[in-house]
Structure 1
Amino acid sequence: GMKAGEEAYVTLAAVDVGILNLTRYESPDPSKFFFGQRQLGHDLRDLYGYLIDGMQGTRGAIRTGGDAAPQMDGEKPTQEPLARYSGVVKVGADGTAKIDFDLPAFNGAVRVMGVAWSSGRTGQASADVIVRDQIVAQATLPRFLAIGDQSRFHLQVDNVEGPAGAYTVDLDVRGPVLVAADATRRTMQLGAGAKTQMTIPVTAAGLGRAEFDVRVSGPNGVSTVQNLAVRVQPSAATIARRIVRAIPGNGGAITVSADLLADLVPNSGQVSVSVSPFGSLDVPGLLKALDRYPYGCTEQTVSRALPLLAVNQLASLEQLALDDKADERVVNAIERVLARQGGNVSFGLWGVGGDDLWLDAFVTDFLTRAREKQFAVPQIAFNLALDRLRNQVVNTSEINKEEAAGIAYALYVLARNGRPVMGDLRYLADNKLGDFATPLARAQIGAGKRRREIAELVVGEIAQIAHHRSAVAGQ
């Protein structure tokens, strides 16, 4: 129904029907949008923004959930989700448009949804189609294995539309699992529309990721491939040992051998050695522990990135190899934490926005130090973070033990950026210093006010703690 020379465009989407059902997604319907019945529109406006300072507001939170973090672990689904979109495609002069999709290994129902439009017309269509190979292989593995576990690999082969004849199943196994040699290749007779099952014993022999590639081939070149994986985990919790030894003077030495790992699972251990005049301060070990931490909350992101600001400078002083990825990781950390700065300018722990003063101070301290190292930090976002700290400090009437650490840290960060709240610093340093439970919090108050006597007092406390820990470690 289009006029000669009229331009038209089309989009096409192909999505797994299971995904659409879970999300209750409805197929696009531009006709309903343009011609459907509508209510009268209305707008609401208020002037509360002129009366209430939004920087002081606290966003409400519903205390539910909390089980999303474990979903980040584990293996990916055995079947890749199917969701393909063509983008806008111009219709050719013959009134047709050709769209190709590269589909993953998939067996199931797919909804194909198309929308077409021109300058004066629109249309849509959708249909469910079955996508599958002529022969379908469905494999099932345990969710995970521990070392020494014996389990089974279950495989079902369904000859949906393939010819009758001999079919061969080839199993390629990689990783820390053992499979009998005669189980890696089997041949069977399958009639049209027939199905069969087989079970293959597997044994976990080590730690790591085990991968299974299953290929079923038959007459006339019919074949299908499926890839699966299972993780072999240790049966016990992670063991961390810390040993402090004194090196004798006048040419003394200490030998580090493989005996340290003799009672551990092979290929699962790691040894880190650091030599320092401070026995209780294992800086390399702390950095490795931070780097191995598998999650990425805001606090952990900053904890991992802060040492990177100085790692190459220290390496140069000691004539050690430089970390060529350090700057890139710092930039990624800056982008990640800024992406979690919410409308109230606070930084969220896992998502956008929060209400934790200590975390806000920690992130702003990191951004401050990054700017001092010439890393790019957006000025507007940085100023808003400082404004948030100042407003929180100024509007805190009484300091309890839970808030003390955050208040001290915020005052220190503000002073470091040349924006000290001197009235609060003087009052806290002269009257409330004992309310701050940790030497670090009192040190931050002292650094913010530049009080020499406070700094000397705190340094003395820290030295006593370090001396006590060194004495305990050496026993």
Structure 2
Amino acid sequence: CRGVTDAQGLLFCEQKPPSEGNLIVQASLSDEAAGIAVAHRDVWVPGARPWWFDVQDHDRIDLLQEKRHYETGESARFQVRMPFQEATALVTIEREGILDAFVVALSGREPVIEVPVREDFAPNMFISVLAVRGRIGGRQPTALVDLGKPSFKLGLAEVRVGWRRHKLTVKVTADRTTYRVRDKALVRVAVRTDDGLVPPVESEVAVAAVDEGLLELLPNASWHLLDAMMGRRRYWVHTATAQLEVVGKRHYGLKALPQGGGGGKQPTRELFDTLLFWKGRVPLDANGEATLEIPLNDSLTSFRIAAVATGGVELFGTGSTAIRSTQDLMVLSGIPPLVREGDHFRAEFTLRNTTDRAMDVQVKARVDGLPIALAPLALSLSPGQSEVIGWEVVVPAGVQALRYEVEARESGGAIDRLHVAQEVQPVVPIRTFQAVISQWQQEITHPVQRPADALPDRGGVQLLVRSSIVEGLDAVRNRMRHYPYTCLEQQISRAVVLRDQGQWQQ
């Protein structure tokens, strides 16, 4: 079939399959800008003929579940992708042992098994299928090969059980999808049970707004509270069989082969915290809803607003939405966060015009810590254009940081001002060559000599006077306050360091 995608980029196509079995569905997309893109995927179409699945050089098969979640009383259906016309299957329900087992006959015309779901299968269970095919008649063994010998395949799949009654559906919506920097986003959180009812009284949500750039580095799995509270239990079953004594040893493939299944007044932008908002307890009203205001910072990015809901002691759920902050003219930093004294580099910034009109932009910059001023720049930006600008910078000695303030102003009124800091490290760090500790009872004389290769205006002699040798050990005391060990000698050490008379007497 052919067609044109809708406003969401979707095209729905219905057509009768030309054949049965394993088919490859391919879609090609063409437009004026990107050219042609092609994607495909495999689908299985059942029919009247026997089902046949590819055979591999190992003893694993895929065991595909009809769905991943089941409730008590339902029947879990699994497709056994065995390469046999007929087989006898040992089906076991496993999890930290064998929960149940039965034997079924499988036909290549419909290799499907059904497992009644019991209450004790929660929160998850593993279904194991050992499909055994006997010797095939009419295939006589030779001195080199036995094509008719018995064979077996093993498949394993996991399903979740009984999660529905503990699940909360959380919907997070914002009043807009796009904001200006330092705007306030009005966010509404609606919570319902899986049956669409209002959650229990005193239900709460925890709300967080995080820069999505941070989540690209490492997704936050702690938001999935239902997964944690249900406590999915481990497999803890080792399967062994004596079939090889009959079938004969063979190559199993790679050891790491996975088991089958599972299938102006313009503010200077300087607030760039990745955690935008956090509130651990937000009570829900009688309708299971909550509204809160989230202030945005200066980042021109997208934020993920997540809400984790709890209702009583057995209802949990998670929902999220995304918002974006933008403005007509943007200044984006490209300077390295760390440099050394004497480094010579180009301090680069990106100017971006997000509007559908051209801009003539004037750029001014100053850097606290540089002895010379940076020259102003002028450039034109087409609609939607980005341009990289920069200045040559030599890092001076004796500064700890360079603080940049870059202002881009357009004649039409658009403006952006950015403030970023750059840490400066010395090329040769200050090191301690000698340290002496003495008890001061009278005049002390100690010879001091400057190292021959010492740099000018660096280092020196530091003199500290304490009334006691244990003064200035705050870090040690803090460590001992949180000392985790509880044996007698460790507790005595803790009491001595902290001078804790009460603990010493205990």
Q: TM-score, normalised by structure 2?
A: 0.41
Structure that is richer in strand per residue: 2
Structure with larger Rg? 2
Structure that is richer in helix per residue: 1
